[in-house]
Amino acid sequence: MTTAPEPFLDEQKSLACVHCGLCLGSCPTYLETGNENDSPRGRIYLMRAVQSGRLPLADAVPHFDLCLGCRACEAACPSGVHYGELLEGTRDHLERHHQRSPWQNFLRRVLIERIFPHPVLMKLALLPARLLKRAEAEHLLPKFAKDALALLPNEMTAGNLPEISPALGQRRGRVGFIRGCVMNVMFGRTNENSIRLLNLAGYDVVTPRDQGCCGALHAHGGNLAAARETARNNLAAFADESLSAIVINAAGCGSTLKEYSHLLPGDPRAASFSAKVKDLSEFLVAAGFQSAIGNRQSAIKVTFHDACHLAHAQRITHPPRLLVKAVAGANFVELPESDVCCGSAGSYNLTEPAMAERLQRRKVDNILRTGATCVVTTNPGCLLQMRAGLDQAGARHVETMHIADFLERSLASPPAGDRDFSHSS
């Protein structure tokens, strides 16, 4: 029997779990291991056991670490258990009271928390890796480093976004844009295409220069204090009351942005901010963009992967499919287990590479089973993870595309005069 630690878990919220087991089939780690300790209900039991002092924290850490935080269990739960909230509180306690190995400390406290959220530092940190990849020297590295290097895209485009991008055609409103961290460094062109789509839909787009990391990496990794600090910074950066929405094109960031009122319950700005946050696909469909695209009858077979934090945390699955189907038409094919995590899960593929690799293989096998030559998704981590997995499987012929790039490419052929979406309903 151990001494009960300081309270970290909302006991009432944890008791909402009635251990019915309906979450088991949705949990990626349980699907892979069949271990109850690596299931949502099992982890909630462990959380309560640690809080009551019946179980040493160190005994539960491996099972908490193995959780992807994908929140598929929330979507499956009939009792409405706020698993993500329970997990974040538990991990915050864990990081303050558990001694990790030097390597894990470096990954979590330095690389993920102090480098990834800062574009300039990320570019500098990635420079040696990019040079190694360009020199095709991966074979000289140990497996972990080789696998991490494989995640880097062959081409990275840094974002060059103006503070204000005016609407094209009839103006319908004014929205803010979150440029993100990884998106801004590795997928700058995707950000540019996202803004272009919003402009085509008739919206001025404001991209505040003093915005920063959304806080997702900190919150999911167990550093709630840092997550709250980044949230306050963004509340100040997007204080412009004239913005009718704040658009984000990265699912993992979007779920955290929509939960600022949970991170900052005492800040009156948080609820207003979160209410304005919209995923790019969610916003475009509400603006009638799918009708304006028309059925392009894509010549290639296309499938769609549900990013966890869009499908489960935000419960958005229909809007991105409407947009993809508007282009692909009859050549759209559903992906088996489309909402099972690909193994990226933010920084999970760095901290838990073995399980991430198993889930990556599972996802790639399902993609290849569809016969599609293009897989579309809504999150940068998913793009990197699936691309690396497909390359490893020798499936370089299968494209991986962000939905913004997919839509922009579909619109590339018509003349500009035919691309006014301002009258979409």
The overall pTM is greater than 0.85: yes
In the prediction, which pLDDT does 226 show?
A: 94
Is a pLDDT exceeding 60 seen at residue 7?
yes
> Domains, the chain, ranges and CATH?
11-97 (1.10.1060.10), 102-150 (no CATH), 164-285 (3.40.50), 289-410 (3.40.50)
Q: What is the CA radius of gyration of the chain?
A: 21
Identify the pLDDT of residue 375. Answer: 98
Angstrom distance (rounded) from CA 126 to CA 123: 5
What is the tens place of the pLDDT at every residue in 50-60?
999 999 999 99
CB 425 within 8 A of CB 396: no
pLDDT tens digits, 239-276:
988 999 999 999 999 999 999 999 999 899 999 999 99
Helix H or strand E encompassing 322: helix 318-328
Give the pLDDT band (50/70/90) at residue 417.
very low
- The answer, yes or no, to whether residue 420 has pLDDT greater than 50, is no
The angle formed by the CA atoms of residues 389, 391 and 393, to the nearest 5 degrees, is 70
Mean pLDDT check: name the lowest of 105-109, 208-212, 396-400, 421-425.
Answer: 421-425
Report phi then psi at 245, rounded to 5: -155, 160
pLDDT at 3: 61
Residues 295, 325: Cα–Cα separation, whole Å: 8
